[in-house]
Copies of this chain bind each other. A is one copy, B any other.
Amino acid sequence: MDLRPIGIFDSGLGGLTAVREIMRVLPGENLVYFGDTGRVPYGTRSRETIIKYTRCDLNFLMTYNIKAAVVACGTASSIALPVVRGEFPVPMVGVIDCAARAARDATRNGRIGVIGTPATIKSDAYRRALHALDPALQVVSNPCALLVPLVEDGRFARGDTVAQLLVREYLAPLLERGIDTLILGCTHYPLLTDVFRDVCGPDVALISPGATAAADTKALLLEQGLLNTSGRRRQSSYFVSDNTVGFARSAEMFLGCPLEGELTRIEIEKYENRETE
């Protein structure tokens, strides 16, 4: 039994879709979220910068005495997590590996589709993670430049003609190749689930990295005896590195419920060096 919070970070607010899933499967856990909204996006930055930012973000979360860290940012998960994992005394879950394992388990015909931002697809992180699990998997990917702006503009409901048109266009080459499993490789995409479902039909498994990370976090806490079974009401704290106003407005959309708990702006640059404990 462990009352310490779970720490989650993302380069922006998309990581709140992972928080949503963690709240669902681990309703008793306290949470600390950091969204690096002042330095978003990570995907276009250099390897060194991504590692530096990730260390920074984890240093900040560590000041809240977290018991586990969830790296909800795909870029940080693939580039920085393998480097920094050993530097922190808590177990870490990254979205890429969780989603790759879930996709490997879900596919029957071995054909897996991956969609994401142009930076994520160019990084080839999902393909590498999938091939590390099973080199025989066929991976078909497609960058979807307009889905993040679309979701951020609130246009993700079933009835949105532009959303429907774009998703159909982006998924066409993947469906033509006969994929039976689709990794929604961007934290924003779960909001478009209804549209993806309509376009893919019922026979394609949709893998949401946030949901798989939440499931893996639960398994990890169970295994290591770290669950919070106090039955006390959950406490959540949210931190950002830019304006809190814009964040509060969008947070509800990504969480699927109003933001509970305090929201604070911090100067993340101050956490470049780890505090001595």
Contact = CB atoms under 8 A, between A and B. Distances in A.
Q: Give the dominant DSSP class at A's interface.
A: helix
Contacts of A162: 146, 162, 165-166, 169
Nearest to A154: B145
A30 to B, nearest CB: 32
Contact of A145 (B44, B149, B246): B149
Given A243-B44, A246-B44, A161 B165 contact: yes
A168 to B, nearest CB: 10
Contacts of A161: 165
Interface residues of A, number: 16
Contact of A146 (B44, B153, B169, B243): B153
Contacts of A146: 146, 149-150, 153, 155, 162
Interface string A221-251: 0000000000000000000000100100000
Interface string A8-43: 000000000000000000000000000000000000
A153 B44 CA distance: 15
A121 to B, nearest CB: 14
A29 to B, nearest CB: 33
A162 B155 CA distance: 14
- 10 tightest Cβ-Cβ pairs between the two chains A and B: A149-B149, A145-B153, A146-B149, A162-B165, A146-B153, A162-B166, A162-B162, A161-B165, A146-B150, A165-B165
Interface of A: 44, 145-146, 148-150, 152-153, 155, 161-162, 165-166, 169, 243, 246
19 contacts: A44-B243, A44-B246, A145-B149, A145-B152, A145-B153, A146-B146, A146-B149, A146-B150, A146-B153, A146-B155, A146-B162, A148-B149, A149-B149, A161-B165, A162-B162, A162-B165, A162-B166, A162-B169, A165-B165
